[in-house]
């Protein structure tokens, strides 16, 4: 307290969110569609009670504050209760991605020193296989009757663990492109501030009347902070263990879903389903699309149905939301095309997220919407130091390199042009692999496309485009090339287009350029094609 | 930093809000209708530049961080720049209410040890009169050419003062009913958290597309935190030095105002003006009404015109927002009357505001919507200790008595039934003076009403109702009594009704029950009336 007077002490601890939820909207429904086909209806009051019992149960196992408790599960009510149960007793919630490879799973659980693993019955085989490689895990609890029985032994007469607001509360590993995965250790303060920030009208626009169906896995990037944001607002949370379009549509209609969120591929599936069946989107108002860029066609499809697409950019290291494409101040004055163009950008930064772009010589670039450079960020929800590392990930001024290449427009909206490591460096300049891919998938008959740089004796690198044809299509290389030519500079045109049956993806569903580069390490352009080069 | 990893350091300092505003929406317009009839169009970028120059100018005067700099002004652009200028150099902004009495103004400026006073030319006489009674004030700067010239001498090459997030930043005195005014010392952290909290959909619902006209004086209760909330969101701020209905309506139409905020009397004036002239409300979407209870008629009037009334309750000691009456989760299922009834309540608490009611024996009362008791609060934006006092204003668990009597409904919404000191204690039970007044003003022909307790030999106190008739009306005592009888228990009926020409108000425009009680100290009921008593 300063010497003159004072406002009150209120450590920004996550369980304050749960206290608020329990007290102010305890009866607000949480609906969970479990993997076994049953639907569970619970609420914040019950969830808080389960979290308290879990705090007791973990302490009975000898788990201490700051100890890591891991989960390996899809989205369901038991998993949600565990989020608050682990954090409530002061533990660190380590959400593991079940789609990781065995070597990665072995590494991260051991690196995290996880002491307990809560897991879905569906992953029993995986868990049994991994047990010998998880020496630190002392207790395995299955998210089924075993979990219920474990909690049933407790009475819930428990007070949340208190501590400093900078204490850690969560751990998420990012699958780096080189070396081992790195852990982002979230803190109570950073998480509460982030949750407070993302519910505002220009981000997720969550209110007590919202009904939110996150199609974001609870193991993906802090689940976009949605469970915590939900606790503040008293919205109705609808969670689902799968992302089958039919199931999502049914939940939207049955539960009156107004908001949803997920990666672009989820929506491609949903759109296809709706187009084929004529299914309704119910009361859907907003779809938040992140993880990778939302295609213009997706934006236009939802828009035509009165649903606003809120384009999100962020990263695990950012808690994870960085920018959101809510309508800007001059929205009403924009033409239809201008609005759509704006929506294809990655949005503008929220309070607490500072962004800048720098060139190869670390000069800060102007916000002119054209100059593209390495995107850097800093703020209260941004990583300073990875788990157990001995050096900061950011520089002395706290600027963290995002690994993305972007241009910032004068209105603050950003346009991600590429991942820094995926940029194709040709003749001393950059070709955006993403822009090539976007141009290619806009060509009828192209289902998916990937552009990578192939070594070239004269230009250093030149683009190779890999294309999966849409089923039934036999679109030609020339047609695709002509289509792309209408969207990019001539010297960006790929030196070759190869048709493939499939493209490699990462555990989080993104195109794996790293695998592609490995696969095409020895690829060389035919001489004739190669010499087209740059004008 | 904890030993395992870390998120970034980001002290919650107010100037981070200004940095965000300048960087992300620097060109967003701020329109100020000055008292001299001119309209100034500026923006966040210019405002930040002026604030920097002011930081330099204050330092040139020898002002140090934590020193108090006072303002005595209405709402205008120079005043707004001063808010950020004082805070930007680490000073404490002391906003004085020019409507206070001389003795109060003498006391608070001296108690605050104000070193500089910035004041409107309109208050020149007041300032000249007060100078001998303001021994600590070294510098007087008038908000006109003098202010502009003072800033013009600086170049704006200035960095905000940095410091701890718990440093003080603002000072507002509350005119207590007993003793001297007490100062609430806001901190950077409490203010930033408050600004982040109030922009969400269920509070003020501020977005980049909002156009906000606060009719809340900048000297009133932290100006409801609106200038800081505006800095986060990039809304267009429209400020006006007066609250003439015609002027407000004109600004609403000219500037496309979507949101406005003020005390109930402002809206009574506006409604009268619109009814008489047929003036349009333009694009108005929301009117935030606080300071005292919004009458049902006001709520219905705006509602009929598609404008949502957001009923706010708070106090200077709460930064100042406590509850807001945004539509609850079951809004769509409510009938028209239920919605209006909900809107007459004072709303429900936001994250960071905890509320409870207690009885005379300090027992916590149930949230049943019926049990009325003393309303207490705690949270990060709530006062712990008044300026320069040697003891906390709240108890060991940080509960602060609000001075209000309220009932909390099961859904968390609160109903303020009275000020604790205005409650009429009759036969060991409480009569709400506010409910009597509300019932009375609902009677055609009644312009304003006030109920106070008068000592009574048998019942301890009995209510006296003072009524101002609407111009041209000669409504009778019996008509009023009959009207009230339909709304309250029979034993609540006033023992006497007296017609008066005017009622005393406080400096902030509220009915002054204290003055009324003084005025009617020797009043006694006629015997016959007195013996009606309680059934």
Q: What is the mean pLDDT of residues A361-382?
A: 96
Peptide linkage before B350 cis (omega within 30 of 0) = no
- Is 60 exceeded by the pLDDT of residue B367? yes
- Pairing, β A354-358 against β A348-349: unpaired
Distance CA B150, CA B144 (A): 10
Confidence band, pLDDT 50/70/90 cuts, at residue A87: very high
- 8 Å CB contact of B201 and A200: yes
Can you point out the beta strands (E) in B51-167?
68-72, 92-95, 116-119, 139-142
- Is 50 exceeded by the pLDDT of residue A7? yes
| 3-state SS class at A217 | coil
Sequence length of chain A is: 535
Based on the residue annotation, tell me whether A182 is a catalytic residue of this protein: no
pLDDT at B132: 98
pLDDT at B99: 87
Confidence band, pLDDT 50/70/90 cuts, at residue A514: confident
pLDDT at A535: 39
- Is 70 exceeded by the pLDDT of residue A529? no
- Is 60 exceeded by the pLDDT of residue A496? yes
- Distance, in angstroms, between B529 CA and closest chain A CA? 45
Cβ neighbours of A20 in B, within 8 Å: 351-352
Q: Which of A96, A79, A99, A85 is nearest to A30 (CA)?
A: A79
Whether residue B3 lies within 8 A of chain A, CB to CB, comes out as no
Q: Which of B324, B494, B524 is nearest to B413 (CA)?
A: B324
pLDDT at B339: 96
- 8 Å CB contact of A412 and B24: yes
Peptide linkage before B401 cis (omega within 30 of 0) = no
- Is 90 exceeded by the pLDDT of residue A487? no
pLDDT at A178: 62
- Is 80 exceeded by the pLDDT of residue B219? yes
Confidence band, pLDDT 50/70/90 cuts, at residue B252: very high
Structure tokens at A261: 């969120």
Confidence band, pLDDT 50/70/90 cuts, at residue A208: very high
> Are the C-beta atoms of A353 and A318 separated by less than 8 Å?
yes
Which of A163-167, A293-297, A375-379 shows the lowest per-residue confidence on average (mean pLDDT)?
A293-297
Distance CA B245, CA B254 (A): 14
- Is 60 exceeded by the pLDDT of residue B179? yes
- Is 80 exceeded by the pLDDT of residue A495? yes
Q: What is the mean pLDDT of residues A24-45?
A: 95
Confidence band, pLDDT 50/70/90 cuts, at residue A432: confident
- Indicate whether this complex's ipTM tops 0.85: yes
Structure tokens at B329: 């989760």
Per the prediction, chain A carries an average pLDDT of 93
Q: How many CB atoms are located within 10 Å of the residue B221 CB? A: 24
- 8 Å CB contact of B379 and A166: no
Tokens 């307990």 sit on residue: A116
Which of A523-532, B235-244, B289-298 shows the lowest per-residue confidence on average (mean pLDDT)?
A523-532
DSSP string computed for B147-167:
HHHHHHT------PPP--TTS
This prediction has a pTM of 0.91
- Is 60 exceeded by the pLDDT of residue B506? yes
Whether residue B64 lies within 8 A of chain A, CB to CB, comes out as no
Whether residue B325 lies within 8 A of chain A, CB to CB, comes out as no
Q: What is the mean pLDDT of residues B22-49?
A: 96
| 3-state SS class at B36 | coil
Q: What percent of chain B has pLDDT over 70?
A: 97
Report the catalytic residues of B: 174, 317, 425, 430
Confidence band, pLDDT 50/70/90 cuts, at residue A103: very high
The residues with which B468 forms a beta bridge, in sequence order, are B448
Based on the residue annotation, tell me whether A331 is a catalytic residue of this protein: no
Residue of B1, B193, B384 with shortest CB distance to A6: B384
Q: What is the pLDDT of residues B8-30, one digit of tens each?
A: 999 999 999 999 999 999 999 99
- Is 90 exceeded by the pLDDT of residue B188? yes
> Are the C-beta atoms of B85 and B93 separated by less than 8 Å?
no
- Is 50 exceeded by the pLDDT of residue B377? yes
Q: What is the pLDDT of residues B486-499, one digit of tens each?
A: 988 888 999 999 99
- Is 80 exceeded by the pLDDT of residue A361? yes
- Is 80 exceeded by the pLDDT of residue A322? yes
Which of A72-76, A504-508, B101-105 shows the lowest per-residue confidence on average (mean pLDDT)?
A504-508
- Distance, in angstroms, between B8 CA and closest chain A CA? 5
Confidence band, pLDDT 50/70/90 cuts, at residue B3: low
Distance CA A168, CA A147 (A): 25
Q: What is the pLDDT of residues B67-87, one digit of tens each?
A: 999 999 999 999 999 999 999
Confidence band, pLDDT 50/70/90 cuts, at residue B291: confident
Residue of A8, A197, A378 with shortest CB distance to B379: A8
Cβ neighbours of A207 in B, within 8 Å: 200-202, 326-327
- Is 80 exceeded by the pLDDT of residue B532? no
Q: Which of A280, A293, A236, A231 is nearest to A259 (CA)?
A: A236
- Distance, in angstroms, between A20 CA and closest chain B CA? 6
pLDDT at B535: 39
Q: Which run of H or E residues covers position B514? A: helix B513-519
Confidence band, pLDDT 50/70/90 cuts, at residue B121: very high
Q: What residues 372-401 of chain B have any CB closer than 8 A to a CB of chain A? A: 378-389, 394, 398, 400
- Distance, in angstroms, between B535 CA and closest chain A CA? 38
Q: What is the mean pLDDT of residues B427-455?
A: 89
pLDDT at A329: 93
Q: How many CB atoms are located within 10 Å of the residue B430 CB? A: 19
Q: What is the pLDDT of residues B318-350, one digit of tens each?
A: 999 999 999 999 999 999 999 999 999 999 999
pLDDT at A528: 39
Q: Which of A208, A42, A200, A211 is nearest to B413 (CA)?
A: A208
Q: What is the pLDDT of residues A117-138, one digit of tens each?
A: 999 999 999 999 999 999 999 9
Candidates A71, A174, A191, A323; catalytic one: A174
B116-119, strands of its sheet edge to edge = B139-142, B116-119, B68-72, B92-95, B168-174, B182-187
Residues in CB range of A351: below 8 A, 6 or more apart: A197, B16, B17, B20, B196, B232
pLDDT at A457: 86
Per the prediction, chain B carries an average pLDDT of 93
pLDDT at A175: 72
Confidence band, pLDDT 50/70/90 cuts, at residue B421: confident
| Cα atoms in the Cβ-side hemisphere of radius 13 Å centred on A13 | 20
| Rg of chain B on CA atoms, in Å | 24
Cβ neighbours of B199 in A, within 8 Å: 200-201
Q: How many CB atoms are located within 10 Å of the residue B150 CB? A: 19
Cβ neighbours of B66 in A, within 8 Å: 4
Distance CA B46, CA B25 (A): 11
Cβ neighbours of A200 in B, within 8 Å: 199-201, 206-207, 232-233
- Is 70 exceeded by the pLDDT of residue B508? no
pLDDT at B533: 43
pLDDT at A510: 78
Q: What is the mean pLDDT of residues B439-457?
A: 92
Distance CA A101, CA A106 (A): 9
Q: What is the mean pLDDT of residues B95-123?
A: 95
The residues with which B31 forms a beta bridge, in sequence order, are B41, B238
Q: What is the pLDDT of residues A214-270, one digit of tens each?
A: 999 999 989 999 999 999 999 999 999 999 999 999 999 999 999 999 998 899 999
Cβ neighbours of A385 in B, within 8 Å: 1, 5-6
pLDDT at A534: 40
Q: What is the mean pLDDT of residues B155-182?
A: 91
pLDDT at A290: 92
pLDDT at B527: 56
Give backbone dihedrals phi and psi of A472, rounded to 5 degrees, phi first: 90, -10
pLDDT at B101: 86
Distance CA B311, CA B517 (A): 28
């Amino acid at each position: 307290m300063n010497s003159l007077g004072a406002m009150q002490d209120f450590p920004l601890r996550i369980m304050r969110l749960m206290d608020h939820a329990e007290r102010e909207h305890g009866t607000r429904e949480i609906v969970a569609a479990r993997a076994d086909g049953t639907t569970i209806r619970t609420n914040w009051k019950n969830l808080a009670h389960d979290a308290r019992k879990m705090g007791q149960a973990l302490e009975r196992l000898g788990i201490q504050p700051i100890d890591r408790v891991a989960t390996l599960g899809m989205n369901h009510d038991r998993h949600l209760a565990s989020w608050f149960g682990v954090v409530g007793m002061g533990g660190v919630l380590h959400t593991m991605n079940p789609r990781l490879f065995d070597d990665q799973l072995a590494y991260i659980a051991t690196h995290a020193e996880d002491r307990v693993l809560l897991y879905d019955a569906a992953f029993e085989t995986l868990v049994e296989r991994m047990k010998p490689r998880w020496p630190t895990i002392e207790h395995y609890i299955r998210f089924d009757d075993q979990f219920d029985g474990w909690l049933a032994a407790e009475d819930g007469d428990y007070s949340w663990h208190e501590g400093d607001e900078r204490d850690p509360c969560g751990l998420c590993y990012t699958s780096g492109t080189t070396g081992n995965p790195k852990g982002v250790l979230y803190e109570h303060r950073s998480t509460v501030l982030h949750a407070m920030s993302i519910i505002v009208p220009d981000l997720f626009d969550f209110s007590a009347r919202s009904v939110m169906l996150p199609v974001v896995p609870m193991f993906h990037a802090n689940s976009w902070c949605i469970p915590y944001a939900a606790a503040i607002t008293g919205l109705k949370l609808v969670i689902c263990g799968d992302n089958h379009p039919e199931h999502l549509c049914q939940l939207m209609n049955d539960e009156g879903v107004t908001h949803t969120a997920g990666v672009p591929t989820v929506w491609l599936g949903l759109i296809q389903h709706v187009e084929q069946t004529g299914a309704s989107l119910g009361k859907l108002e907003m779809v938040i699309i992140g993880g990778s860029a939302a295609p213009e066609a997706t934006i236009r499809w939802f828009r035509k149905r009165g649903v606003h697409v809120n384009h999100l950019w962020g990263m695990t290291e950012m808690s994870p939301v960085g920018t959101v494409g809510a309508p800007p101040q001059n929205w009403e004055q924009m033409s239809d095309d201008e609005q759509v163009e704006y929506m294809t950008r990655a949005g503008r930064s929220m309070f607490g997220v500072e962004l800048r772009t720098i060139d190869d010589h670390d000069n800060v670039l102007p916000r002119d919407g054209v100059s593209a450079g390495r995107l850097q960020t800093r703020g209260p929800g941004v990583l300073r130091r990875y788990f157990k590392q001995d050096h900061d990930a950011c520089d002395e001024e706290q600027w963290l390199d995002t690994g993305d290449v972007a241009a910032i427009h004068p209105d603050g909206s950003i346009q991600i042009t590429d991942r820094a490591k995926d940029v194709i460096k040709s003749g001393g300049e950059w070709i955006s692999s993403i822009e090539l891919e976007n141009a290619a998938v806009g060509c009828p008959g192209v289902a998916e496309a990937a552009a990578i740089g192939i070594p070239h004796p004269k230009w250093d690198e030149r683009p190779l485009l890999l294309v999966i044809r849409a089923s039934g299509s036999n679109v030609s290389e020339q047609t695709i090339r002509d289509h792309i030519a209408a969207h990019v500079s001539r010297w960006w045109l790929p030196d070759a287009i190869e048709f493939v049956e499939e493209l490699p993806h990462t555990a989080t569903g993104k195109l794996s350029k790293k695998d592609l580069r490995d696969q095409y390490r020895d690829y060389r352009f035919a001489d004739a094609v190669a010499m087209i080069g740059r004008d």
